Amino acid sequence: MGINFDSFLAFRFKDGELQPIEHPHIPKFEDLLHIERQKEELRKNTLKLVMDLPAHDALLWGDRGTGKSSLVKSMLGLFASKGLRLVQVYQMDILHLSDLYGLLRRTSQKFILFFDDLSFERHDQQVNVLKSLLDGDVEERPKNVVIYVTSNRRNLMPENLEEEKFPEERRIQIVSLVERFGIRLGFFSFSKEEYLDIVMHYAKAKGLAIDKEELEKRALDWARERYGFSGRAAYQLIKDLEGQLMLKSLGWLP
């Protein structure tokens, strides 16, 4: 494929081909608030990877907008200088993952294979393929590769097995897949206080000139319209306010 792993930090593996990403999104590790335990656990595991020490695959599961994907991508900001690279893999390409193993095995860099928002439906045969490639396939996994998965589902699949013909067999299959992840981190909705703290942090980082009480009011209205408190809602609010304040400074808004 002729990929230069020295020139790019992130890649996309799609339709069986590895494509470099010229402008990767790398969130700041320190901007991810109120997930301190999850941050430290993933940071330590990724440090092991880049130091050529045994590292686990990781499953990050839980509520939307709580920082799962941002935390994975933030690892590049911490360790790219030590040779870390990130490859986003799409679910449809699970069947081609062994081809990717062969390519990455020949490099000196360390790789996170990133499956974002992964989930399976009942009787999805990709489950068995991923199980084998995580641990148990005839081919040995490259030592410079870990798999990080984010999902809104704790078990990657629907937990209601009442309609299954053989629910116990399906339950064993689910547990067998999840147990292959040495690290499993849960992410949960933020409290109102945590949400407001994140809003204030982003507002300060952007240098927004807005009264604290007014900002809190806008933040709560914003969250109410979006059905809950999340880091994503906080980020979107600040982005919206930043644009409004800039328009106001240019005389386009009263």
Q: What is the pLDDT of residues 184-195, one digit of tens each?
A: 999 999 999 999
Q: What is the structure's pLDDT at 175?
A: 72
Q: What is the structure's pLDDT at 122?
A: 61
Q: What is the structure's pLDDT at 136?
A: 57
Identity of the amino acid at 202? Y
Q: What is the structure's pLDDT at 160?
A: 60
Mapping DSSP to helix (H, G, I), strand (E, B) and coil, where does residue 130 land? Answer: helix
Q: Which of 209, 203, 207 is nearest to 238 (CA)?
A: 203
Q: Which of 95, 78, 63 is nearest to 30 (CA)?
A: 78
3 touches 11 (CB < 8 A): yes
Q: What is the structure's pLDDT at 102?
A: 87
Angle between helices 68-79 and 36-50 (to 10 degrees): 40
What element of type H or E holds 40?
Answer: helix 36-50
- How far apart CA 196 and CA 209 sit, in angstroms, is 16
Q: What is the dihedral of CA 7, 114, 2, 126, to 10 degrees?
A: 180
Q: What is the structure's pLDDT at 79?
A: 98
The pairing of strands 58-62 and 10-14 is unpaired
Q: For 19-42, how does the pLDDT look when each residue is reduced to its tens digit (9 = 90+)?
A: 999 999 999 999 999 999 999 999
Burial class (CB in 10 A: 0-12, 13-18, 19+), 207: exposed
Identity of the amino acid at 42? L
The pairing of strands 10-14 and 17-21 is antiparallel
- How far apart CA 220 and CA 70 sit, in angstroms, is 23
pTM of the model: 0.90
Identity of the amino acid at 7? S
Mapping DSSP to helix (H, G, I), strand (E, B) and coil, where does residue 110 land? Answer: strand
* Tokens linked to 217: 């009011």
Which residues, in sequence order, are bridge partners of residue 145? 111
Strand positions, DSSP E, 90-243: 110-115, 145-151, 183-187
Spans in the chain with pLDDT lower than 70: 1-2, 121-125, 136-137, 157-174
